[in-house]
Amino acid sequence: MLFNTFLESVVKIKHLELFGEVSHAKMSPPYRLQLAERMRERAKTAKVAGVMALFYPNLKGETFLVLILRKTYKGVHSAQVGFPGGKYEETDEDLMVTALRETEEEVGVPERDLNVIKALSPLYIPPSNFIVHPFFAISETTPNFIKQDEEVEDIIEVPLLDFLDESNIITTRVPTSFNVEVDVPAFKLNGHIVWGATAMMLGEVKDLLKQVL
């Protein structure tokens, strides 16, 4: 889809009601509710983070979404696909500022180039004890991506039409903290399997886009 066409429609999202858990549940691992229940007390002291669902035109004027492949490290989100973003810092005015700052740090898109359209539904992530606040943003110019080598293995540029294509929703098997493998819903984007919290947040982004495109 050409970005000019996308831009005319996507601004309508700011007036839509969020889908929240209805969207999240479509892409939720089957064990998530059980794990969240076990973490109920710990969740009261959860850390917070801001992430960005950023859409932009490529050099041909086609609409794309940027995701990142995280580095391999000793942590629960090692080598997973996610949104650019990160942990709230005390110097951040609010979580939108967190998402803007971290997006610039991780993929090199300046805050001044981003127009945040809407705050999306926050999502609690039991394994890392984070509440993540996603934001929907656009850049009207083609970004010159520069990845943060310390944290980002690769920048993944996903065509909008691929993201919206229902055939790119699959089922995959993943290991769990219960020492068993389970089937979970996932997106297959640019050859990467996107599941868990990122897939759940993408689910709401997709449902909102389907209302306006």
Instruction: Give dist(CA 124, CA 36) in Å, integer.
Output: 8
Instruction: Give dist(CA 81, CA 194) in Å, integer.
Output: 6
Find, among 117, 185, 190, 188, the residue nearest to 159 by Cα: 190
Quickly state the pLDDT bin for 74 (edges 50, 70, 90): low
Tokens of 124: 């609690």
Q: Which domains does the chain have, with CATH numbers?
A: 3-204 (3.90.79.10)
Could you report the per-residue pLDDT of 128-173, keeping only the tens digit for each? Answer: 889 999 999 999 999 999 999 999 999 999 999 999 999 999 999 9
Q: Give me the pLDDT at residue 133, please.
A: 98
Q: Give me the pLDDT at residue 68, please.
A: 97
Instruction: Give dist(CA 164, CA 1) in Å, integer.
Output: 11
Task: Kindly state the average pLDDT of the residues 111-115.
Answer: 97
Q: Give me the pLDDT at residue 73, please.
A: 61
Instruction: Give dist(CA 67, CA 189) in Å, integer.
Output: 10
Percent above pLDDT 70 for the chain: 93
Residues in CB range of 191: below 8 A, 6 or more apart: none
Find, among 98, 92, 84, the residue nearest to 54 by Cα: 84
Tokens of 41: 């007390």
Mean pLDDT estimate for the chain: 92
